[in-house]
Amino acid sequence: MARYTAWAAFVGAVVLVAGCGPEKELPTAGLSSEGAGTQRPVAPAKSDPEAKAVIDRAVKALTGGKLELLAKGKFCRCVMKGQMFSIEQANQANDTNRTVAVAWPDRFFSSDERFSLGTRMLVEAWLRRPDLAIANNGAPVPTPNIDVLERWLAADVVGQNWMPLLLPVTDPKAVVFDLEQITAGNRELSRIKLALGEFPFYLLTFDAKTDLLLRVEYTNSMDNVLRPTTMVFSEHKNVDGLMLPHQFECRHNGAVVEKLTVEKWAFPDTISADEFSPPKKK
């Protein structure tokens, strides 16, 4: 269990096989257990001005200087296609079609259509905090310790789905601090920490030249098991005025578990609350 999440155990699981991605050369500075578990470190009372300046530049880069566009991300749909890696057969990549809908700050839906050895599996998750439901091929999945799992998944949603839209770092509760300026090859990088309420600390890496978000690192904790996670974002393109990544790579404990390509970003004016709860039985 130390090598993969409880979430993965419930929904069919993902193998942690070693791999490399387009941003592998970026230095990793994991947070270890910082911000996770029962002994949480104490964040500063307010943001460091230098770290806050990094966020201000990142928002300008995301929005092309039209700061009012940041609010578009509060309702978002994303369609992705790529591969996940099975824990049952090492080095076996399972083709995956993923559809995600999010409504800031606490609603999330995902539909994962996976194909493994000719078998199709549909895994769906509805998060409407504090409520969480999971279904496998339309059948509800029992979820022991549902409260713990809900908090675990919510931290993943912040780090993996919300962070490219920069809504967590611009939240009034956000505190950013510990700015580092580092060099990787010929690339200058800015790295800061984010504290956001109940969630673990997030380590964010930005390209110092373009101010675009390249990487998010954090450590989730469940039942005294720590899982370091790294999200790598690349291939940024303009979508409706927002400069958004189109390649997502997820790593657990340093090993690649997902590689996904965004086929479509969409920003509706609103998303019905019903989409974040399982369909009612007829």
**Strand pairing report for 93-103 and 119-128:** unpaired
For the segment 231-268, what is each residue's pLDDT rounded down to a tens digit?
999 999 999 999 999 999 999 988 899 999 999 999 99
For the segment 116-146, what is each residue's pLDDT rounded down to a tens digit?
778 899 999 999 999 999 999 999 998 888 9
Q: Which CATH superfamily is domain 6-276 in?
A: Lipoprotein localisation LolA/LolB/LppX (2.50.20.10)
For the segment 63-105, what is each residue's pLDDT rounded down to a tens digit?
999 999 999 999 999 999 999 986 555 667 889 999 999 999 9
CB burial string 65-80: b at 16+ within 10 A, e below: eeeebbebbbbbbbbb
- Strands (DSSP E) contained in 26-71 are none
Question: What is the structure's pLDDT at 280?
Answer: 82
